[in-house]
Amino acid sequence: MRLARPLVTFTLGAYAGLAIAAALMKRALAPRGDAGSDEVALVAIFDGVRLASRAQAFRGGSLLAWFGGIDLDLSAAGLAPGARLRAAAVLGGVSIRVPTGWRVRSEAKALLGGIDVRTGGDESPDAPTLVVEGLALLGGIAIVAARDATGTS
């Protein structure tokens, strides 16, 4: 019992500190980009963001989900060469849906979180490639082919 009280106090303090930092960041960071943008900067702090991109040459951008969630649908977008997405999920989640013909290379790391890439693996070597880098810290990043978005293969 003597050890439990300091541990609980530390844990609650850490969560409170993260929540206060997230609230301050929400005021400082403004999302940018819309359905036609070639680059996006989506921020979901204490809320959710959904974007279905129709960009002709999507180049990438950044995604930050902190105590929130982001759903980015790229299934109707075209991909520019060298496209990169930086995704961070801190106590939140990021979902990215890509067309079936795209290749996805994940360079993201997870710390007490998870990264799930399900694009089928049958893409040709010369298919458009999206590189996803970032961090899932007590959160998750999921990348799925459009045909698998409903649970079918």
- Looking at residue 19, its pLDDT comes to 81
- Looking at residue 121, its pLDDT comes to 63
- Looking at residue 123, its pLDDT comes to 67
Residues 29-69: tens digit of each pLDDT: 777 888 888 999 999 998 999 999 999 999 999 999 998 99
- Looking at residue 71, its pLDDT comes to 97
Distance between CA 28 and CA 69 in Å, rounded? 18
- So where are the chain's domains? 30-148
DSSP assignment of 138-151 equals SSEEEEEEGGGTTT
The parts of the chain modelled with pLDDT lower than 50 are 149-153
